[in-house]
Amino acid sequence: SSGTPITPLVLESPVFYGTNVGCGRFAPSRPGLWAEDTFIEIDGATVFGDYGLSMRHSSGRIANSELTVNCNGIDINSRKAVGNVDYSIEIISNEITTGDGSPITVFDGGLVIIRDNELEGAGEASGISIESSEVQIYNNDIGPVGGWNGLWLLGSFDVVAENNTIHDTAREPIRAGEYGSSAPNPQAARVYLANNTISSDGTGVCQATRYDDWDGDFTCPAVHAYRTGVTMYDNTINIPDSGDADGIRAVGALLDIRRNTFNVPGTGVIVKQYDDGYAGSQQYGTLGFFSQNTWSGVGMTYNVTKSSITVQSEYIPSPPPDEYPALLSWSGPQAYHANDFQTNIVTTFVQDCPNCADLTPRNFPLALNMDNNSTTFTFANLSNLDRTKIYIETTTAPATVQVRRAEMVRFQTLVNGERVTDANVLIEDALGNDLYSLYTESDGYTPWVALPSDFHLDFRGLAGGDNPDHFADDEYEDSCSDGIDNDGDLTIDTADEDCDTAAGTRELSRYYYTAYRFGFGYDRSDFTLVDSTLQDTINLVNLGPTVSVTQSDGHSYRRIVNVTGSAHDGQLAGVYATDELAQWDQGGYVHEVQVRDPFTSEWSNAGLAVDTSGMAEGQVTKTNRPFSSWYYAIDMSNREEGDYVFEFRAFDGIDYSPIISRSIKLNTQPPTISVTSPSSFSTHSEGTVTFEGTAFDHYGCPMQCSVDIQDIYFQIEGPSFLVTTPTEGGAEWSWTWDFSGQPRDIATYTFTVWASDTDFCESVVDECIPAVLTLTIDNSNSPPFISVISPQDGQRLSVSEETVFEGVARDNDGSVSRVDIEVQDVVNNYLMVYSTSVTDFAPSGAWSLAWDSTQLMHDHQYLIRFRSYDGYDYSDWTEMFIVADNPPDADNNPPTFDPSGWSSEITLFCETNSQAQDRCTRAEINLLDYFEDPDPGQELILAVYDDEARDSDDHFGMVINVGMNGMAIYNPVSMFFYDIDIATWTLENVVFVATDTYGSKINSAPITFTVVGLEFQITPPEDDMLPSGGVAVFTGIGLPGKTVSVTISGNNVNNTLVGADSTWSLGIPASRIDGSATPVFKYGGNSFESADYTISVGDSGGGGLGMGTIILILLVLIAAIGGFVYFFVELEDEEDEEFDGTSEVKEEAEEDAYAWAKEPYAEPGIREEPPPEPESRLQKHEEHPGWLWDPEEGEWVPDPDHSDA
């Protein structure tokens, strides 16, 4: 292969010599040039030899060449195709002379144009031989041909031959179709012959075959059509009188013969059916349309057997004597229901398969059907012919031959008063059988056609006539005796009330027409044909177009308005199975979509949308159509922002669609933004940062500026971080960024902030001018923290299968993801005995864990560690030591501790400037109120717990006395033995332990004994001037339980007890003061006097001792005696003082005549007992140096005065 369509292989003036061994089948002959799969151009060649040029699967041009060869001149086989494009070969202006073969052959799908050639020779072949190819033949001189035909056509061919001269052929000038006993099976094919001059001497002999029943050999006709379609327009056929050739012979053909001139000595037209001779095989009749032909020299003009012929507008020559111009016959038995229509006829097929090419003859006016059981001859407007000259051969039944007298009919198609050319008009009979398929010409008219107005049979038996007489011209041989329902009223012949011989009426012919042209309109109606010419007008109805716009009202555009949409003509369904269905439904196509913008007042000046469907004009398929998509664009950059109205309509060449309007929003300027908070370069560490600001947009101004603000965008860029996020916008906006999920470090982030409207800056900065801020984001992690509720440090833990650890874990800047727990055996070098993690937390951060602690060893100390984790950092370990309570006796119930009412701290007070044994308050706790043994009959051993893991509690058991009665007593003075500094006398986290008979133990909750050192203090009132009847209130600090008294001039005025919180308050009434006085306070055996305490009374009411003063003195004396009695009882009975002292004082206070002055300032009672009596009850024994025996408590206590030295 070589060459391309653009750059073919070019051969100029070559000379080719082929072999010269003859054309025999087995001769080793070769062509002068063999070209295969090539693009080639040959110009001015000279070729000699057996074969000339052989072109196979090639394309190109052969021109101006001379070929003189023995066999075929130019052989074309198949065609050149690239993709879906077929390329032809042109044979132009050549002189080809052959000995035996054809000057040109085209086989096997060739695609060829043959023009202006001189072809002769063909001693044993035809001028042009074509098989199953597409060939166009123009202006050629073909002949003489010594062997066979001018054009020999077979297979599935599609040939056009115009303006050619075909002469001096040995056989038929034109043979079309598979004629002959050895020919292949017939295939759909057609030939179009126009303006050709066709001649022969009319003496060639053709052989009959069993398929055509020509009764032996016959003189070859000018045109021989065999199971093919033949169209002949304006040709001249000349056969000299020396011959006896017919004009046309056709077997099972489709004939469209118009305006031809036939100068032939034989019969003008002989048509028959195709019958292969096998019983039950389908027979194919010839269907022909003849109009305006000129017949000269003929004997008989039409000879029709088992076929259907329509003839109109012709002069029919008179035949020789004893002959008739038209002969009609039906060969063989009648085809009717009794024999299942075995001998019926149909038209030959025009397609070899459903998807094959439709090879209906070009412009064929008749519908492809015929009466299947009769020979029909339809005539109209014929000169020199009537029913008396149409001879009907004797047949087996009258209905096998019909003579149809017809009228000339034509229609003009209009739409909106305008002529429509190329409209298809389909005419049907009353029963819906297609008769004609016509197309209107440039004036809008169809060609004249013959439509039967009356039907005639040569039938038997009607009285008064010689029937049958071979003519259908008797009085009653009309539409009332034709066996046809001509008017479609479902009644036939005399059963139809229209058939009334008395009234002279008969059944008239009714017809339907359907007129349609794609893009113009459609109409369907009916008419009744009377015995006259009919010319009528068909007004097509056009279905107007429809246009739609994709965008809704309010759609926004940025400077360039680009409206899109779709349009269609007629009706539009969603899916079509074929292109034809789509075309029928829509009925046309949209020619243009017009757009009237806001600045155009008249539709005549409207703009046009751009078709983006990709379809050619007028091309409608099942999937697409013109203007199935379109757009209209207009630049409005120089317009103000606002709303504008556009109008749209579609035009289908006939009508306009309804107008659609759209209001669009125009944006021409981007919005602006400002950020008011935070300021750039600020630092944020709270997990979030809030941005606030304003935005402005021109759309809506002046009344509703910024109404089109859509979103505020934040592009955040930091270390390995880049994200853009939108938030709802407006004229004023705010947004909070939660950066708690960012890496836990301090980093600098850049924030690019801009506003978007409907068209500008959506997702990207675009043309907007953004605000850019640089912020320092402190997202460093705060470690979590943990607190443990259970167990507690120093606790003696009773083992269980459901021992519960619980606590709270929180994180200030996030959430805790887990709590790690470890249990280590202290005795065994902190061996890990249990570890786990807790991951379930309550919203408050509370967590708990139930675990089986029965593996712990009895009386072993264990370190329990807890820490929390927030996904980034750990909290510090919270550690505590516990002692496992797991005695061997598994049936023993360990003691219990009830924390109800248990204090975590008791505050005690000690005088720092005193060395007395009672200088401190002491704490007493009845441990049996809190510890209990659930097992009856067991006594608990109570003691102070000594935690081996800490040294600070080693002396707690020495200074806290736990008696057999369960009373735990702590006198801070006992710490004097260890350290004289009162600041060290506080005991922190003291734990008591209860042990049952089996050694099971339980620890108490920790309690702290806080010792506070104090000195006696007096605080005078702020105002030292009292009004008459007033009270001067002195306050101060002292040891709880001690008495504070006050005297003036040696007279006892008032007294009170120091409260449990070490404060006291005491009032001096103005009635005890004459003018001014300096009170003297007594506390712990000491007197306190100071000028700062002096009090004055304004307006004393005179000098001397009045009665009121005397009464007051007596009351004070009584109070002093009461105080003396109280003090004496307190010293004599310590035990009463410890338990009842407070109540006695209260009773004494109730008897105090000046209780009105003291009561409002009295302090509530304290938990701590008052100081013990000075004399110690402890006994010293020599055999126990360093220890003292307490006979009341029944226990040994440390001797504070003992020294190892």
Other beta carbons less than 10 A from residue 1098's beta carbon: 11
Residues 6 or more apart whose CB falls under 8 angstroms from that of 273 comprise 251, 252, 283, 284, 285, 286, 305, 306, 307, 331, 345
* Residue 360 · residue 158 · CB < 8 Å: no
CA distance 1005 to 1047: 47
CA distance 1075 to 1024: 12
* Residue 62 · residue 94 · CB < 8 Å: yes
CA dihedral 574, 577, 583, 585 (to 10 degrees): -50
The residue with tokens 């994180």 is 811
Q: Would you list the DSSP string of 556-584?
A: EEESEEEEEEEEEES---S--SSHHHHHH
* Residue 1116 · residue 1053 · CB < 8 Å: yes
Give CATH superfamily name and number for 785-886: Immunoglobulins (2.60.40.10)
Q: How many CA atoms lie within 13 A of 404 on its CB side?
A: 26
pLDDT of residue 53: 96
* Residue 227 · residue 243 · CB < 8 Å: no
304 dihedral zone (left: phi>0; alpha: psi -120 to 50; beta): beta
Strand partners, 1203: none
CA distance 1026 to 345: 150
1204 dihedral zone (left: phi>0; alpha: psi -120 to 50; beta): alpha
Residues 6 or more apart whose CB falls under 8 angstroms from that of 648 comprise 547, 549, 563, 565, 593, 594, 595, 596, 609, 632, 659, 660, 661, 662
Q: Which amino acid is residue 953, in one-letter code? A: D
CATH topology of domain 672-778: Immunoglobulin-like (2.60.40)
Q: How many CA atoms lie within 13 A of 868 on its CB side?
A: 25
* Residue 133 · residue 113 · CB < 8 Å: no
- pLDDT tens for 976-1034 read 888 888 888 999 999 999 988 888 888 889 999 999 999 999 999 988 888 888 888 99
Closest CA to 1051 of 1105, 1123, 1113: 1113
3-state SS class at 1175? coil
Residues 6 or more apart whose CB falls under 8 angstroms from that of 1070 comprise 1026, 1027, 1028, 1029, 1030, 1031, 1032, 1097
b/e map of 284-293 (b: 16 or more CB within 10 Å)?
bbbbbbbbbb
pLDDT of residue 458: 80
The sheet carrying 1017-1019 orders its strands as: 1017-1019, 1031-1037, 1063-1069
Q: How many CA atoms lie within 13 A of 1143 on its CB side?
A: 4
CA distance 844 to 783: 17
Locate 376 and state its tokens: 């029909």
Q: Would you list the DSSP string of 419-475?
A: E-TT-EEEEEETT--EEEEEE--TTSBPPPEEEEEEEE---S--TTS--S-S-S-ST
DSSP H/E element including 79: none
pLDDT of residue 1175: 58
Closest CA to 380 of 449, 299, 461: 449
CATH topology of domain 1016-1161: Immunoglobulin-like (2.60.40)
Residue 930 DSSP one-character state: T
Residues 6 or more apart whose CB falls under 8 angstroms from that of 402 comprise 371, 374, 375, 376, 377, 455, 456, 457, 472, 482
CA distance 86 to 532: 51
Tell me the whole-structure pTM to 2 decimals. Answer: 0.59
Chain center to CA of 69: 72
pLDDT of residue 1155: 43
In sign, the C-alpha dihedral spanning 28, 29, 31, 35 is negative
CATH code of the domain occupying 545-667: 2.60.40.650
Beta strand 1017-1019 with 1031-1037 is antiparallel
Residue 1205 DSSP one-character state: -
* Residue 855 · residue 825 · CB < 8 Å: no
CA 469 vs CA 327, 378, 379, 388, 397: distances in Å = 14, 20, 20, 11, 13
Averages of pLDDT over each 10 residues, the chain, 1205 residues: 86 94 89 94 96 96 97 96 94 97 97 98 96 97 96 96 97 89 81 97 86 82 96 97 93 97 97 87 94 96 96 95 93 83 91 92 93 94 94 81 93 95 94 92 94 82 64 82 85 86 86 94 94 94 96 94 96 92 94 96 95 95 96 94 96 96 94 95 92 94 92 95 94 93 90 94 94 93 91 86 93 88 92 93 94 90 94 91 81 86 93 86 93 86 85 87 91 88 91 86 91 92 86 92 90 90 90 88 88 78 41 49 41 38 38 41 39 60 60 63 60
Residues listed for the chain:
1205
* Residue 783 · residue 874 · CB < 8 Å: yes
CA distance 402 to 378: 8
3-state SS class at 399? helix
* Residue 900 · residue 929 · CB < 8 Å: no
CATH code of the domain occupying 397-539: 2.60.40.10
The residue with tokens 């005078």 is 1020
